[in-house]
């Protein structure tokens, strides 16, 4: 069974880390900062959450 991928929209220039406050306690992993500097989206290497810059 494939886990549903979470997509979180963020503002340009916002500092992003995962897990976020929206993750369940059982679903936590070490905190990582997501690089969106030169990209429109990026994925967390631990849980697969996608972070996209809003238009």
Strand 50-53 to 7-10 pairing: parallel
- Could you state, in order of their start, the residue ranges of all structural domains in the chain? 7-53
User: What count of other Cβ atoms lies within 10 Å of the Cβ of residue 34?
Assistant: 20
Instruction: Report the pLDDT averaged over residues 2-10.
Output: 83
In this predicted structure, the answer to whether residue 1 has a pLDDT above a threshold of 70 is no
pLDDT digits (tens, 9 = 90+) for 13-35: 999 999 988 888 887 999 999 99
- Cα(18)–Cα(34) distance, integer angstroms: 7
pLDDT of 2 reads 58
SS3 35: coil
pTM of the model: 0.82
Which residues are 33's β-sheet partners?
A: 17
pLDDT digits (tens, 9 = 90+) for 31-46: 999 999 999 999 999 9
């Amino acid at each position: 069974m494939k886990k549903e991928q979470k997509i979180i929209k963020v503002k340009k220039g916002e500092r992003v880390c995962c897990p976020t406050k929206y993750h369940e306690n059982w679903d936590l992993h070490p905190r990582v900062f997501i690089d969106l500097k030169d990209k429109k989206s990026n994925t967390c290497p631990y849980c697969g959450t996608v972070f996209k810059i809003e238009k």
